[in-house]
Amino acid sequence: MKRKDFIQMSAMGLGALFAPNFRLMGNPVDPAAFLNDGMDVTLKKQLADVALNAATAKGATYVDVRIGRYLNQIVTTRETRVQNIANTESFGAGIRVIANGCWGFAATNEVTKEAIARTAEKAVAVAKANSRVSDSPVQLAPQKGYGDVKWNTPIEQSAFSVPVKDKVDLLLKVNGIALAGGANFVNSAIMAINEQKFFASTDGSYIDQDVHRLFPTFTVTRIDRASGKFETRKSLSSPVGMGYEYLTASAADKVAGVTTRYKSRYDMLEDVKNATADVEQKLKAKSVEPGKYDLILDPSHLWLTIHESVAHPTELDRVLGYEANYAGTSFLTLDKWKSKNFKFGSDIVNIHADKLQKGSLGAVGYDDEGVKCGEWEIIKDGVLVNYQAIRDQAHIIGLNASQGCCYAQSWSDVQFQRMPNVSLQPGKAKLSVSDMIKNVEKGIYIIGDGSFSIDQQRYNFQFGGQTFYEVRNGQIVGMLKDVAYQANTQEFWNSCSAIADASDYRLGGAFNDGKGQPGQSNAVSHGSSTTRFNGVNVINTARKI
C-alpha cells in the first residue's frame, strides 16, 4: 500500500475509533451527524434549563452550566516518517452553583435530562458542605444577562476539515527541506483545537461559542561530527486563534515579505529553510562574553518574558496567595497597586490585557462565567494600575464588574481566573528595528524563545532564546551562542528604552500555560513590537562555574 493511501485509511480508522455514541436527551445520536454539527443549540438550552431549575430548587442562589464539546488533533512527524496521528473528543456538562454563600461544582459526561438534574443537585450538596467550613460568603460582582447570543472565532477554513494526508504532506515537505539543507534531525507537528461551548446562567444568558486554535511547529537539529556538539532551532511560528488559513500565506504578506514573522499568516516552508541555515551558523558562532549589553528583543522572544514577568504576577489570585502551594505568589502585592505610583517599568511601558484581539489564542466573545470580554490597562506609563480579576474577586480591587478572564480547560473542570492576552503596546513614534539597532554600541539582538527560569514571586529571572546576533556600533556583526540574560522584573522593565512602532507588532503565545490544583492548561497570546532594554546582565550558559 502506498504511504498516502495508508495515511488516508488510518485517518478513517481513527475517526471511527473516536466517534462517540453519546446519548442526548435520552436518545441516541448518530455519530457522523454529531461529528459534523455537534448538538443542536435548542437541545443545549433545554438541558441548561434543567440544570438551572434543579439547582435553584435545592437552594442555589446562583447557577451556571457549561455544555462543552472539545476536539483535539495532533499530527507529528520525524525526518521521513509519520510518528503519530491522534484525535480526541470530549463531551459533557459542568455545573457551578452558589448555595449558603459557597461555591459548589459537579460535572457529568452523561448528557441527559436526568443526569443533568442529578449533577446540579450534587453541585448544591457540595456547596452546602463547603459552607460548613467557610467564614466568608462569595461576593459575586453583578452581571447582566445577554439572552441568546453567539460568538465564533473568525476563520476561513477549519483545521478539522483539512484531510490528514494534506497535513502530513506539508510536514514531510518541511522535514525534507531541512534534511536537504544539511540537518541531521527534524521533527514537525500541527496541533488543532476546537472548543464548542454553551454557557447558561441564572443571570439570563444563553451563550453559544465556537473557538478554534492552531499550532504548527518544528525543531531542526544539526551535529558537528568533529566535535560531537549540536545546535537546534525551533520554528518562529506562533500558535494562533485562527483556522488552517494561517498556513496559507496571503498575497499581501508575500509582497510585504513578512510571512515567517507571522504578521497574519505563516510560511512554514520558508521558516524551516531559514532555520536550517541558522543551525549551521550557530555551530560556527562565537560564544558570548559575559557582561552588560543592550538587548534588542524580537516579539518571537519577548512574548515569553511578558508572560512570565508581567502576565503571571498580575493575576489577582496569585497576588492574594491562592497559588502559593503550586505555582507561586507575586511581588506585585496590593499595597503597590494602592500606592498608585509603583514604578513597574519606564515611562514608555504600557501593557494591556484583552480577550478580543483577532488571531490571538485568548480571543473569545464571553468568558466561562458569561462576562462579555474586553480590554483594560495593567501598566500605564510604567505604573501598576490594575490586575486580572473575575466575578468573585472584583470587589477586592474596587471593581463593580468582572474583567472577563474566567476559563476552564474543559467541561469537567471548574472555571477560575486565567490569564487573558497580556501585551506590550507599540511605541507611539515611528521607529523601525534597524533604527533601534543603529543607536546601540554594544548589544545583542535575540530572536525566538528558549529556556527560562523565574522565582516563585515572578521577580528574579533568566531567559534564553533561539538565535542571537552581536550588535556593535550600530551594526549586526555576526551570530553569538550560549546567551542568556538575567534581571529582576522591576529592574528589567525600567531599563526599557525604545519600542518599535505598530508596523512591527506581532503575537507570540503558548497552548499550555499551567495553573491550579488540580492543574489546568490555558492558551494565551502576548503581543509586542521589537523592544530595547539597556544595560542588562548577560551570562555565558556554556561556561562552568
Q: pLDDT tens digit string along 204-221? A: 999 999 999 999 999 999
pLDDT digit string, tens, across residues 294-342: 999 999 999 999 999 999 999 999 999 998 888 789 999 999 999 999 9
**Which SS3 state, helix, strand or coil, does residue 91 take?**
strand
Quickly state the pLDDT bin for 28 (edges 50, 70, 90): very low
Cα first-last separation, the chain: 56
CB atoms within 10 A of CB 311: 23
Residue 14 predicted with pLDDT over 80: no
Q: What is the DSSP letter of 159?
A: G
What pLDDT sits at residue 496? 98
Mean pLDDT (the chain) is: 91
pTM of the full structure: 0.91
pLDDT value of residue 326: 80
Numbered ranges of CATH 3.30.2290 in the chain = 3-150+194-213
User: Is 288 within 8 Å of 483 (Cβ atoms)?
Assistant: yes
Predicted local confidence at residue 263, as pLDDT = 59
Residue 185, classed as helix, strand or coil, is strand
Fold of 3-150+194-213: PmbA/TldD fold (3.30.2290)
Phi-psi region of 516 (alpha: psi -120 to 50; beta: other; left: phi over 0): left
Q: What pLDDT, on the 0 to 100 scale, is given for residue 39?
A: 77
Residue 316's φ and ψ, nearest 5 degrees, are: -65, -35
Segment 518-532 shows an average pLDDT of: 96
Assess contact for 129 and 103: CB atoms under 8 A.
Answer: no
Residues 142-158 pLDDT 10s? 999 999 999 999 999 99
Q: CA–CA distance from 351 to each of 55, 302, 366, 376, 534 (Å)?
A: 41, 13, 22, 9, 19
- State the pLDDT at residue 543: 77
Q: Is 56 helix (H, G, I), strand (E, B) or coil?
A: helix
For the segment 85-97, the average pLDDT, to the nearest whole number, is 97
Give Dmax over CA atoms of the chain in angstroms.
75
